[in-house]
Amino acid sequence: MAEVNVLLTCAGQRVDIVRAFRAALAAGPHSGRVVVSDLDPLSPALFEADLVIELPPVDDPGYGDAVAAACRREGIRAVLPLTDLDPVVLARAAPAIRAAGAVPFLPSPEVALGCQDKWECHLLLQKVGLPSPPTWLPGEVDVADLPFPVLIKPRLGFAGRHIHRCADPRELEFFLGYSPAESVIQQALPGLEFSIDCLGDLDGRALGAVPRAMLQSKGGEQIKGETLDDPQLVELGASTVEGLGLAGPSTVQCFRDDGRILGITDINTRFGGGFPLPQAAGAGYPRMIVGIAAGERPEPRLGAHTPGVVMTRYLDQTILTRDPGGLVPLPPVL
């Protein structure tokens, strides 16, 4: 069978994803290595991978070409970003990456940028008939007409940074002046928040959509959650993947109240922070990605996950020591 080497960029703390791909490759039928990159030499994921490669910073003009060169050099077949730092850059570099023999698991550059930019995302969702909360640009709306409470959100942001809830015009004026980021104004939705971990094939066909309840989060990262048996949310995830052409993994966040979807508030064109939940529930996304990179066409598994799988997270660590070759894991001290 084909060897499928997988490159995970900006791997950071995503030890869970590195381990999942290593397990998928070890289980066969395709062999391969998990290759990672990160600028921080202490990023935990570096010590779980089969190979670590050096890449320039994401904002370096040569970043995309460097990824393509690494793909050619290391025989990479699949490229996936693990943070919001480089999906747009990698999507724009897709022709060079494909020419190097690898598949970037990302949508088009326009959709990748649209999913990161809160205003463009609102317009994209409206264009394809998907629900989006009422959203405005500051200075283009009469504050007296706004349905308070509202949120200000950075157009380009991540990890819940610079999001502020405003109860009235006075608070809105203050936080718009306080935030360092170019922002949008969005209606604060009632109801409960849900996430849907999705996977699309290279044609944007929905292969999986696993909804999970957001039981607790910190800094935008899910700490506690549970997978759900929820056809409405599965359908919303699949419709979002196919409506926008979301190739690769994505996470769709939405609010629902009294059985009605009120709006999609975020779309991340990467694995979500709650990745261990859909993985434990049988989604099998790493296995399907390896198969797609090997030329297979997996069948959709919408609604085939196990509901009622609960995750509660805790702190863990990798302990290292320095030797002449650099940092290496230190065996447990008993």
Quote the pLDDT of residue 274: 95
Quote the pLDDT of residue 81: 98
Query: Which one, of 214, 277, 266, lies nearest residue 240 by Cα?
Result: 266
The whole-angstrom separation of Cα 276 and Cα 14 is: 10
| Architecture category of domain 134-187 in CATH | 2-Layer Sandwich (3.30)
Q: Cα angle vertex 39, ends 38, 41, to 5°?
A: 85
Given the candidates 3.10.180.10, 3.40.50.20, 3.40.30.10, 3.40.50.720, the CATH classification of the domain at 1-104 is 3.40.50.20
Query: Which one, of 61, 92, 66, 57, lies nearest residue 7 by Cα?
Result: 66
| Architecture category of domain 106-133+190-334 in CATH | 2-Layer Sandwich (3.30)
Domain ranges within the chain, ordered by starting residue: 1-104, 106-133+190-334, 134-187
The whole-angstrom separation of Cα 69 and Cα 71 is: 5
Q: What is the pLDDT along the chain (334 residues), one digit of tens a residue?
A: 679 999 999 999 999 999 999 999 999 999 999 999 999 999 999 999 999 999 999 999 999 999 999 999 999 999 999 999 999 999 999 999 999 999 999 999 999 999 999 999 999 999 999 999 999 999 899 998 999 999 999 998 766 678 999 999 999 999 999 999 999 999 999 999 999 999 999 999 999 999 999 999 887 788 999 999 999 999 999 999 999 999 999 999 999 999 999 999 999 999 999 999 999 999 999 999 999 999 999 999 999 999 999 999 999 999 999 998 889 999 887 7
The whole-angstrom separation of Cα 68 and Cα 75 is: 10
pTM, whole model, 2 decimals?
A: 0.95
The tokens for 198 are: 């999705």
Chain centre distance of CA 160: 14
CA-to-CA dists, residue 199 to 19, 20, 49, 177, 300, angstroms: 18, 15, 23, 38, 9
* Residues 190, 129 contacting (CB under 8 angstroms): no
